Amino acid sequence: MSPRRGPLSAGERVQLTDRRGRRLTVMLEPGGLTQTDHGLLPHEAIIGLPEGSVVVTISADKWRQMRHQQDVDTDTQAPDRAKPWKSSRGIGGWAFTIMRPRLEDYILSMPRGAQIMYPKDVARVILLGDIRPGMRVLESGAGSGAMSLGLLDAIGTEGKLTSIERREEFARVAMGNATVFFGHRPAQWDLRTGDFDTLAADLPEDEFDRIVLDMLDPWNRLEQAYRVMSPGGVLTAYVTTTTQLSRLAEALRADGRWTEPGIMESLERSWKADGLAVRPEHEMIGHTGFLLTSRAMAPGQQALRKHVRATKDYQTDVDQGRPPAKSSGSNREREKEDLEDLEDLELRRVSDRKLRKVLRDLDHQVRTLQGGQDQKD
């Protein structure tokens, strides 16, 4: 999308920011009016200004005078159905800075149907997934369009984004948000509504360079994902819970056609810098989701896996996978064997030599402590 320059015009979304840092995003309309907590902002006073201008709210009385003067000048008596001054009577004089919103600002303020992916995660998906201009990208789960906006911006007009959204109303929200942000319906976006497996089955093989999955059960989509992915393509999945993360990672490993998954999450914390008061803000955006990436192997090739040490068995479930007692002897012997089986499942084995050293050190410290107490007595 080419950047918008020049004076602000009707049909654009603008961001109002006051001295306290509070933000309000509105779309400019001819004859429009925005009501704030500190008065009214006529859109006619904003349209035509350059970015970075400061505008000041007016009171309801001032607005009525302006409307009355317009009616006199045009010899009309247009009724004012909105009557915004009912809650803004006598307020005015509050300053706002006017800017065109950044992509991050737009994502956080745009209308939502489904929960959005946060800008910090959108940015990481684009970087981790190596999504660049001209690429062909498949997205599952458009939601409200936050990730779609980032992908469309990353691939540019030469790329192609194919999104599959299960719910038609969510698809309409996503397309509406993209149309408002870009100023037109993106020609490089093919937004389809329906089941992922059904619609993906009609897509050509090796069609996509990158795939982004944001859905409840991405592990059930790996077969179709591999079929339509070019060899070496990057799969990026966004999941919110550890159970989803574990199941997807194990499914990728069991499939054998995907490289060892990389897993990360992004935490965001803002800072305050005001003179000597330099410290983190009290609030932060903590866990929002996990990002998992993996790459498609060439057909007929198996992904390499690291060897797991025998003493590091973390695949067997302690309760369900423990082998039965080997001996039919006494209860004491069976308990000893069960204990040995459990020790084999420990992730951090301690050698007998190290354990003896730890015990000697602790015994020495205990004796020293007791000797000091005896002397006091």
| CATH label of the domain that carries residue 241 | 3.40.50.150
CATH code for the domain in which residue 18 is found = 3.10.330.20
Give the residue from 296, 315, 350 where a domain finishes.
Answer: 296
The pair of three-digit structure tokens given for residue 344, joined into one six-digit string: 């084999």
Question: Is residue 214 a known part of a binding site?
Answer: yes
- 113 shares its domain with 63: no
Within 10 A of 161 (CB to CB), how many other CB atoms are there? 25
Is 329 inside a domain boundary? Answer: no
- Same domain for 117 and 249, yes or no, is yes
Q: Give the list of residues 6+ apart from residue 74 with CB closer than 8 angstroms, or none.
A: none
Identify whether the C-beta of residue 185 lies closer than 8 Å to the C-beta of residue 157.
Answer: no
259 and 133: one domain?
Answer: yes
Q: Which of 52, 79, 99 is the last residue of a domain?
A: 99
Residues 249 and 208 in one domain: yes
Overall number of domains in the chain: 2
Q: Give the separation between CA 241 and CA 314, rounded to whole angstroms.
A: 20
Q: Are residues 142 and 53 in the same domain?
A: no
- 32 located within any domain: yes
Residue 219 and residue 123 in one domain: yes
Structural domain of residue 64, as residue ranges? 7-70+92-99
pLDDT digits (tens, 9 = 90+) for 21-63: 889 999 999 989 998 888 899 999 999 999 999 999 988 877 7
281 is in an annotated binding site: no
263 falls within a domain: yes
Domain assignment present for residue 229? The answer is yes
CB-neighbour burial class of residue 84 (10 A; exposed 0-12, middle 13-18, buried 19+): middle
Identify the pLDDT of residue 131. Answer: 97
Distances (CA, A) of 373 to 361, 364, 365: 19, 14, 12
Distance CA 218, CA 252 (A): 10
Same domain, 160 and 250: yes
Bigger pLDDT: 156 or 87?
156
Ordered alpha helix ranges (H), 15-76: 60-74
Contact 202, 211 (CB under 8 A): no
Whether 225 and 194 have beta carbons less than 8 Å apart is answered as no
pLDDT score at 91: 75
Q: Give residue 62's pLDDT.
A: 79
Residue 357 lies in a domain: no
Judgement on whether residues 163 and 289 belong to the same structural domain of the protein = yes
Query: What DSSP assignment string belongs to 234-257?
Result: EEEEEESSHHHHHHHHHHHHHHSS
Same domain, 44 and 143: no
Per-residue pLDDT at 88: 47
Whether 46 and 107 map to the same domain: the answer is no
Residues 44 and 132 in one domain: no
Task: Say if residue 165 carries a ligand binding annotation.
Answer: yes
Residues 177 and 232 in one domain: yes
Kindly give the pairing relationship between strand 229-239 and strand 290-295: antiparallel
Mean pLDDT of 146-168: 96
